[in-house]
Structure 1
Amino acid sequence: MDASPVLQPDEVPVTRIGNGTGPGNSDRQRLETLADISEFLMMHDLPVCPFTLEVAHDIVTGTKPRLAAIAAARETDGLPLTLGWLEEIMHEEATDGGAAQIHSLIVRLEKTIEEFANTACVARTATTDYNSALEAHVGDLETIDTSGNVIEQITTLAHHMLDRTREVARELSRSERETRTLQQQLADARAEAEIDHLTGLPNRRAFETRYSQEYAATRDSGEPLCVAFCDIDEFKRINDKHGHEAGDRVLRTVAQSLATMSNDKCHVARHGGEEFVVVLRDKMIEDAWALIDEAREAIAARRLINRSTDVPFGQITLSAGVADVHAFPDAREALRAADNALLQAKEAGRNIVLKANSPGKSGQD
């Protein structure tokens, strides 16, 4: 009979390294961290990929305290930490980072503008002082016969004034250059913060701004305005079967297809996850519906293949809901109506575009 002792869970042998005394504190901590990350991924049934490994590390180690706190609160509420939810949260974290960058630039820009104003104020004060001094000397010239001493003082004052004026001009030019540079950096940062970097489309923040602008403008002008939510059907199946990176490629392909509608009166954005939103100005509900349905047909007609495995994705389809914005009491109600129409399209079998009925009507067109 084998007389080897039975090992208890806390007695699992550890491969010895270095001086033969077992792993040091840093090695043990790394092992514990790896174990915690593995447990986190298994507990929440998350795939093992660079994205989930990074997020799991940030949560279990507390590297990002805010993210860890949000995840803990969600667990306390009994809600799952799904891949889609993690993507959404990390997107918000990245957006917050962009907002912080913009805030920093605004602070710097305000400081530069303040310095510019101070320089201009000094210039105005100096000009006033010089004018007063010159006026006094001109008055002296009128009351004396010989003006040699006064002319000498005026000459000295004029040279001093020229030197000071050149110095102020240099300061004004420097402040102007810095202001222009910061203004450009601020514009670039704002544009960067409003781009979804996976698809290249405007993100949800950009959509909210655009939607508010279009709503106000068309309400005042009386132009029609429609909004549509589009969602990739059974996207989880694509991720589960082909992997997260392949799913990202599908998202980019759909985004590129939808982006072909974009012009100065049609704006396409990624709303989050596998959902996109389209704002259509100067389009009646029927025309908006036809445009979205045409995009749906074009995407459904494509046959995509996973390039890394040569396995077909199968048919990629969209479901969508379209609403006539001004048929509803306000802009938010119209968004909810379009979203509800999308949900009904899913329930109706997917791969379909439905129009939201205005208040007072029943059923779905």
Structure 2
Amino acid sequence: MTYASPYPELPENAGGFLSWLGIGRQPRPAEMPAVPSATVAEDASQRARRHLLEQISAFLLENGLEVTAQNLVTAHGIFSGLNPGLRRQVQAKRESGCPITQAWLDRASANDALDGEQIVKQLVSQLEQGIASFSRSTSNARSATRTYGDALAQHVGQLEASPPDAGMIITELAQYARAMLERSRKAEAELRQSEQEAASLRRNLDRARRDAEVDFLTGLPNRRAFESALERHRSEAAEMGEPLCVAFCDIDHFKQVNDTHGHEAGDRILCVVAKTLSQISGEKCHIARHGGEEFVMLFRGASTEEAFELLDNARAELAARKLVNRRTELPFGQVTFSGGIADVFAYPDARLALAAADEALYRAKEAGRNRIVLARKDS
């Protein structure tokens, strides 16, 4: 007995796509666009990283929080499980219907912060790695999706080129294939957007890291940046046989300036001193604001005597200026600073050299201020 096929006779140019679907003749390898594994599913670790990044991004955006290094670290602690106490606080805040503001987050994270500079660096590093991994995965998935869509588009073209009398099955298959192609192109567009978002997040993280190492008032590097530079230059100078000196400088009677003229005027004095010291900085001399009215400098390739001459000239230049408060037209009086200098290689490590420079600064203050003092060799 002979059975009739339930399908109409198909045109030759539809064979490739139908064979790929398992209808008609056996498939040939050249006609089968492989479905990339990257478009089907990501492995568990990729999904976890993606989910963590999405949670962090949503938290910052939904609450109107800036993308700063501290906020990224705080959000990572909340959603990675590293800071369960803060996570519970955030959850309680949400359940109460109260907004999560920057001020509240700063207080909450300060009260329940993860201690240690190394932990912060580790978290930022993990976040960077997560962003990089997410970006690579998204890029690979988009590339595979594009290849898949191009192959699918060829078969859609074959089906749509079929003669009008090809039958209902061909029309339906063409419609189904066209819908698949549209979904593929949509997925490709979404993956491209995810790539752009990952790149934007990476740029924001880079900017946040730079901002975290800059003193916003004076524009100088801050203490964290200086300590990193000190270790790097100490290693390089030791390898090249260059001298290296460190100096602490402190504005004299700064509290009196604030008490007499106000903190805004005090900030301007800080900027004046920062600019004075910056004039002697360069490729071999680095300056940073160490905190408060204190600055720290690194002299590479200069002996303690040479560093003393440079710093003392800057001190004398500032002391000779007649500064006036522009808001009140009242003179500030003589503005001076004191300093202490130490030879970094005269001590077992850089921290001991910093301590010696600080001790020399103290002696300069005790001796009457407005002077530079060299650290004792036995200090």
Shorter-chain TM-score tier: 0.5 to 0.7
How far residue 244 of structure 1 moved from its aligned partner, in angstroms, is 1.7
Query: How many residues of Structure 1 are paired with residues of Structure 2 in the alignment?
Result: 244
How far residue 175 of structure 1 moved from its aligned partner, in angstroms, is 5.5
State yes or no: 1:322 paired with 2:341: yes
Residue from 97, 104, 107 that aligns with 1:64: 107
Residue from 304, 312, 328 that aligns with 2:331: 312
Amino acid in structure 1 at the alignment position of 2:268: R
Are the aligned partners of 1:112 and 1:175 in contact in 2 as well (CA < 8 Å)? Answer: no
Secondary structure of the corresponding residue to residue 227 of structure 1: strand
Unaligned 5+ segments in structure 1 are 1-60, 71-92, 130-155
Please give the TM-score of this superposition, normalised by the length of structure 2: 0.55
Structure 2 equivalent of residue 282 of structure 1: 301
Structure 2 equivalent of residue 184 of structure 1: 203
Please give the TM-score of this superposition, normalised by the length of structure 1: 0.57
Secondary structure of the corresponding residue to residue 353 of structure 2: helix
How far residue 275 of structure 1 moved from its aligned partner, in angstroms, is 0.5
How many Å separate the matches in 1 of 2:201 and 2:122?
Answer: 11
State yes or no: 1:202 paired with 2:202: no
How large is the RMSD of aligned CA atoms in angstroms? 4.0
Unaligned 5+ segments in structure 2 are 1-103, 149-173
Structure 1 equivalent of residue 271 of structure 2: 252
Q: Cα deviation per residue 1:144-195 (whole Å; 9 max; x = unaligned)?
A: xxxxxxxxxxxx9xx9xx9999889867755554443333222211111111
Closer, same or farther: CA 168–116 of 1 in aligned 2, 3 Å: farther
Q: Cα deviation per residue 1:45-104 (whole Å; 9 max; x = unaligned)?
A: xxxxxxxxxxxxxxxx9993677x79xxxxxxxxxxxxxxxxxxxxxx9xx9xx989967
Closer, same or farther: CA 285–166 of 1 in aligned 2, 3 Å: farther
How far residue 117 of structure 1 moved from its aligned partner, in angstroms, is 3.7
Q: Cα deviation per residue 1:298-332 (whole Å; 9 max; x = unaligned)?
A: 11011111122211111011110011101111101
Closer, same or farther: CA 65–118 of 1 in aligned 2, 3 Å: closer
How many Å separate the matches in 2 of 1:327 and 1:259?
Answer: 26
Structure 2 equivalent of residue 332 of structure 1: 351
Structure 2 equivalent of residue 229 of structure 1: 248
Superposed structure 1 runs of 4+ greater than 6 Å apart:
99-102, 123-127, 162-172
How many Å separate the matches in 1 of 2:192 and 2:343?
Answer: 51
How many Å separate the matches in 2 of 1:330 and 1:292?
Answer: 23
Structure 1 equivalent of residue 288 of structure 2: 269
Secondary structure of the corresponding residue to residue 264 of structure 2: helix
Q: Cα deviation per residue 1:204-239 (whole Å; 9 max; x = unaligned)?
A: 111111112111221222211111000011111112
Residue from 303, 313, 316 that aligns with 1:297: 316
How far residue 293 of structure 1 moved from its aligned partner, in angstroms, is 0.6
How many Å separate the matches in 1 of 2:193 and 2:105?
Answer: 44
How many Å separate the matches in 2 of 1:173 and 1:280?
Answer: 48
Secondary structure of the corresponding residue to residue 373 of structure 2: strand
How far residue 245 of structure 1 moved from its aligned partner, in angstroms, is 1.6
Closer, same or farther: CA 351–116 of 1 in aligned 2, 3 Å: closer
- 1:35-46 matches, within 5 Å, as none
How many Å separate the matches in 2 of 1:305 and 1:126?
Answer: 67
